[in-house]
Structure 1
Amino acid sequence: MNIYVGNLDFKVNEDELKEIFEEYGTVNSSKVVTDNFSGRSKGFGFIIMDDQTEANKAVNELNGATLENRKMVVNEAKPRKQY
């Protein structure tokens, strides 16, 4: 499952994000989206977990959880719109 994680503090990096989700199961990859020019975090990222049960548990328990004084928005990622 591809999981969207929003409202991240700009200091959160991919390793920290992965570590949080590993408490719920195996994480295949973590990505914090950054600005191409400044390299600064855009405040959101993605986690990929293969096990659907583990992924659902992570989404349910982490949505609204506080990380670095910000409440995360965690849900299943939706496919990008094709224009």
Structure 2
Amino acid sequence: MDSDEGKLFIGGLAWDTTEDKLTDYFNQYGDVTQTVIMRDKTTGRPRGFGFVVFSDPSVLDRVLNDKHTINGQGR
């Protein structure tokens, strides 16, 4: 994740959310080039947040204006 352009912070994720689930969900807004769920360095357990990167940063406005439920967690 070298560039911040098109990158979106995703917080409040369910513990069992995977990168694939994030990609599948956010592909409805545009081409997702990368997803990452942050993990504890010691245990490897998810920390409840991550990032999604879109190839076209202009889709961020649409994403931010919608409410989202991902893997049972609503935001």
| TM-score normalised per structure 2 | 0.81
Deviation at 1:51, TM superposition (A): 1.2
For the pair 1:67 / 2:64, whether they are aligned, the reply is no
Distance 1:24 1:17 in 2: 12
- 1:10-60 C-alpha deviation (Å, 9 max, x unpaired): 000101011111011001100000111111110000011131222221222
Q: 1:6 aligns with which of 1, 11, 16?
A: 11
Q: Structure 1 stretch 9-18 or stretch 46-55: which is displaced more? A: 46-55
Amino acid at match of 1:25: G
| TM-score normalised per structure 1 | 0.74
Distance 2:42 2:12 in 1: 21
Identity value in percent: 27
For the pair 1:34 / 2:69, whether they are aligned, the reply is no
Q: Secondary structure at the match of 1:28?
A: strand
Distance 1:67 1:30 in 2: 14
Q: Which residue of 2 aligns with 1:25?
A: 30
Amino acid at match of 1:10: W
Mind listing any 5+ residue stretches in structure 1 that lack a counterpart? Answer: 73-83
Aligned residues, how many?
A: 70
